[in-house]
Each structure stands twice: as C-alpha cells, then as structure tokens.
A and B are shown apart, each in its own frame.
Chain A
Amino acid sequence: MARRIALTVNGRVSRIEVDDPTMPLLYALRNELNLKGLHFGCGLAQCGACTVQVGAAAVRSCALPVSQAEGKPITTLEGIGETGRLHPLQQAFIDEQAAQCGYCTGGMIMQAKALLESNRSPSDEEIRRALAGNLCRCGSQLRVLRAVRRAARAMA
C-alpha cells in the first residue's frame, strides 16, 4: 500500500509516495526530490558518501528509513549554499581544491559541517577523527583537512 510521507528538506516540505516505508532516505532524496549532492556509495553506512544532516547530526541517508526522517529537518549539500552565496565550507573546498573525482566530497562537507557546528575550532586530530567514517579513494584527505581548517577560521 503506497504511503504518503512529508519530508522537510532544506526548509521546504515535499510530499512523496512510497511503497515501502523502510526505503532508505537516500532514494527519496535522490530519485523523488532529484537531489544530486548526496551519493550512493555502499548502502551500508560504511562510506559517508550519502551524508546529510538530520537536525544537527550528520546522518547516513542510505541507512535511515524514510519514515523515520518524516517531520525532521533534513539538510543536504544543496541547502547549505549556492553559487554566489557559498557556505564557508563550500568556499574552502574550492579554495583548497579539495577534491579529485568529487564523489565523496558532498559527504565530507556535510560531515565537516556537523563537526564545526559542535566544535568551532577543532584540532587536526579532531577533524581526522570526525571524518574517519568518510572514505575517499582518490586520496583527497589532506586537502579536505586543509579546507576544514580554513572554513573553521573563516567561521570563527
């Protein structure tokens, strides 16, 4: 039986129909709402490519049933800034050229955003630990580290 679910994404409420309320939030965001800032990497909460914020927390959207996201404020990469008014993290990722293929990048930014909101001036160790669950195969980690540091300074 199809069920209607209201999702609050980037401040806007969208109603979608789902056949299966246990469907991960990722599929609703990517396929129903056409958001491209979060990516499918594993579907197992192991890589962080699908990271979004639910409230203040960085969450793996591939492992959260869409029904459990209902009514909660969801923020995706698209919602934190756009060309012309970038979030300091987005700007810092450009300034540091902190990507190669960019597939992991959105998840890195969202994870770092949650970190900086709870810790305004993290040490390198703290940044590394906070991003330990975000995998990057291209090897962009040192640049990501520099970008998060730069964003923290900009946001101070």
Chain B
Amino acid sequence: MRYSALSIFLNGLFGNRNWAAHWRQPEPKAHYDVIIVGGGGHGLATAYYLSKTFGIRNIAVVEKGYIGSGNVGRNTTIIRSNYLLPGNNPFYEFSMKLWEGLEQDFNFNAMVSQRGVLNLFHSDAQRDAYTRRGNAMRLHGVDAELLDREAVCAMLPFFDYDNARFPIQGGLLQRRGGTVRHDAVAWGYARGADSHGVDILQNCEVTGIRREGGKAVGVETTRGFIGCGKLALAAAGNSSQVVGMAGLKLPIESHVLQAFVSEGLKPFIDSVVTFGAGHFYVSQSDKGGLVFGGDIDGYNSYAQRGNLATVEHVAEAGKAMIPALSRIRVLRSWGGIMDMSMDGSPIIDRVHLDNLYLNAGWCYGGFKATPASGYCFAHLIAKGEPHETAKAFRLDRFQRGYLIDEKGQGAQPNLH
C-alpha cells in the first residue's frame, strides 16, 4: 500500500479503520542469506537498502524487544553534517543528502525538518575553531555560515548575550541541519524493508553466535536457532555484548545519555541551538515541548536511566544560555545506552570472521547517521568492499594509529 493524499483522504472518510499493518509478524525461517542483529534505525536501514538497492531478498532483522525501543526512539532527533575531519565529513553529508530525499524514497512521513542547527561560540578561540570547521565544511561542499552576535541576536533575542562568563559572540549555522521524527524513521525503514520481503523478527533476542571453521553459521535466539549466510551486527549500546558472543573485544564502553522534554509551549525556538560553553542543546518539537539534553552521565551503564546530578547540570547549562527556561517545567526524562567508542567515531567494518560484519560505536550522534550508516553497511555486506564515504571507519584504526578524533574525546569520562 502506498501513501498518497488520496489514500489519506479516503481512509479519513471511513474513520481511519481500514489501514493495513505496516509490516508482517513472520515466524523465523530456518535460514536467511543475511541476518541483521538489532532492529534500531541502523539495522532497519541496512535491511532496507540491502533489499531495495543491493537486491538481496532473503533477510531477517532480529530484535530483542520491539523495533524502535532502543536509541532510535530515545534520541533528541537532531540531524546535521557540520563535521571537520575528512573521514567524517563526506559520510555525514551523504547522510544529509539521503535525509533530504528519504520521505519520497520510502513513502513515509518522517517529518524531516531542515530548521537549521546553530552552534554558539563564546570566545575568540572558539570563534576561530568554528571558522575553521565552517571552512572545512564549505571545502567539502557542505553549507555553513558564520553569524556574528547581531545576527544571532536577530534570530534568538531572548538568549543571555552578556553573561559575564559566557557572553555569546556569534555562531556557526548549518541551515540544512534540523530534526526528524525519530520513531517514524524506524517505522518507515521497517515498512520499506518489509515491503521488499525482509522478515522483521521482534521479541527475539540473540543469545549466542554459532561458529564453524572461521565463519558464523547462525544465531541462537530466544525463538530458536536461525542459520545465516552472512551475519551483520547493529546492536548499538549492546554491541560489546553481541560481539562478545563471537569472542571479540571492542574499543567501546556503554554509557547512559539522558534527554528531557518540557511541557508544551507556544512557538519559542524555531531551530536547533547548542550552547558552546557547556554541553547543552535544545529544539522545540511540533507539539511545543522543548527537547533538550547534555552530556553522558560518565560511568559505564546498561540501565537506560540516569542520575539527578546530570539533570541538575543540564538544567544549569540551559539556564545559563536561556534564562527564561527557569520557569519551564520538565515533563519527562529518559536514558539510552550509548556505544561510546574510544575516539568518538563509528565502526563499519568486516571483523575477525569471514562473514561477520559490525556496525557500532555511534556514541551520542548516530541518529543523524542512520540513512548513510544503513546504506554503507549494506554496501559492505553486499559487495564486500566499503562504501567510498565510510572507508575510514575501520576497526583496526586504533591499532594503526588512524583515530578519527573529531572532538578529541572518547568514552573515557575524563575526556569529556
């Protein structure tokens, strides 16, 4: 079933009772050509591009909970491609281009909103660093504009410009950045993959990886053994656990990141803004709530809930940037488990078994990468070679000394 203005109108006439399910609830088959572990954004996008673009049809996505229950449904929905380093920039820009055509491509409304992402700077040194990053972006064909204080003030007059410690001097703006409705991304990719024959197996936890002669031959799951030709792991915060089943140790720690949403407000902030003097970022959802967050809590965790000290820290940073926030009530907060890699950059690579592929290490920035991550991972699985824009994301880079240290920080809390 394709969505169109007409189908929405006609279904509306009948009280929206006749919509079909978006994807099937199949029983696991005995064997698939490709099994993808993890039904988050990256796993579902991989299945979508594998089936649609690379022509592999016999695929399963194995998800321990329900799809969208992981980070893809927990993030703060920001997309951008404002990266400095050559290993990162073309990849995130490829992702941005895929976002721009995504809704037409998978025929689903993901509410892609290019409302602009503005990074504030508060000192001369920070201005110079942002100028350098903006120039690097433009050299790669990505849009970037450096705004002075007056230009930022015209956009967002209610910020604390003359804060004694963190005066706002200007900002680096990427107008093509913005937000996307996160769970619609999971649903859109799931529906698209299902329509190309992919089996999405929910409530099916992988508990072991069966190996024979240097190959992965299948996975043990809570719904029985399932055989595979190739095995692709995209388990985000649980990557170390799943890869550990194949006997490999990763340069990754799992940490909790919290996010918050306020009560609904009238239109207040029409772009995404990040504070440059502390870790705080905010946007406003279409329902009116302010969606915001800050740093990871700092200690290893698999708990999907964080600490009050971090809540306080985020609130303080927010109030330093926007004093008016002090009157706003927070409705909800939640946590997600991040696969923090040691250089802060991801891994898309074939690993120590011939047919075992790994997609991990997305830290707190993997949502924006979802389309390109899925595409490049599918490319690697189908063709055996990395996609042009994802060549740098190798696992052995730590051994070879080719770290991609975009921000000079990794999992270690003292580096944040």
Q: Do A and B come from one complex?
A: no
| A contact residues vs B (CB 8 Å cutoff) | none
Identify the B interface with A (CB < 8 A).
none
